[in-house]
Amino acid sequence: MKPTFLTYQKPLLCAMVQDSTPSDMICTIMNSQYDGAEAFGIQLENLLPEYRTLEQLKKIFSYCRNKPIYLTSYRSHSNKDLTDDERVELLLLGLEAGGTLCDVEGDLYHKEPNELTFDPEAVAKQEALIKKIHDMGGEALMSTHIHDFFDEEKTLKIALEQKRRGADVVKIVNFARTEDELMANLNIIHRLKKELDGTPFLYLANGAESRLLRQMGARLGVCMYLCVQNYISVSSKEQPLLRSMKIARDALME
């Protein structure tokens, strides 16, 4: 049976892999295995163009040892000059190579400041892409990275719209720059758990007061932890260390 992000006993410990070469990605995956990784987030936008082949991706993914693989193909790093259609091709290549969960950005095909478009043509293409991912045996996550703090009602509208478009997993990254925003974000998790009616959601935050939410969110209902095995220059510094979160997760979820 193909590994999945949709059923789990405890929120998954997902190690994000952001290296630029297959050899470095494999090292990160292997180190993460020994630190307790239960899933892997392969950020394909970081992989140099010369390594973006089915053969190379299959080789990298083989080291994940049949654990579920979350794929991103964002607009950054080696993807910065690609069209959205080209980035989707890379995402689907990753799915063909053995990936599990494809990240479909909420503003795919029509870029918006806070990563959610309502352009009818773009939305229709997103829905068609999600159907194609499902037809290929994959799972779809829709992501929205907000570049400001959104309150509970605004955030809930995003989550429900992502679900309506067919996402299996809802992903929103808000901001927590102050203690008040942090506490509001913790309340938002509680609201999402009630309103999404069982749909898994990945709710995170960036900003000076985001660390507690990333560490505690899964105890409140978030479906997984996005962790790093070790910090490198391109790592998101808000993401906690995998080995630390394994200890905390196992203690909190007893």
Question: pLDDT 10s digit of each residue in the chain, 254 long?
Answer: 789 999 998 999 999 999 999 999 999 999 999 999 999 999 999 999 999 999 999 999 999 999 999 999 999 999 999 999 999 999 999 999 999 999 999 999 999 999 999 999 999 999 999 999 999 999 999 999 999 999 999 999 999 999 999 999 999 999 999 999 999 999 999 999 999 999 999 999 999 999 999 999 999 999 999 999 999 998 988 999 999 999 999 998 87
**Cβ of 199: how many Cβ atoms within 10 Å?**
18
CA gap 177, 155 in Å, rounded:
16
The residue ranges of every structural domain in the chain are 10-99+223-254
To the question of pTM greater than 0.85 for the whole model, the response is yes
- What's the angle, vertex CA 10, arms to CA 215 and CA 115, rounded to 5? 55
Burial class (CB in 10 A: 0-12, 13-18, 19+), 90: buried
Residue 130: helix, strand or coil by DSSP?
helix
Instruction: Answer whether CATH 3.40.50.720 is correct for domain 10-99+223-254.
Output: no
What tokens appear for 93 in the block?
Answer: 């290549």
Question: What's the gap between Cα 65 and its chain centre?
Answer: 19
| Residue 238 to residues 58, 201, 228, Cα–Cα distance (Å) | 29, 18, 10
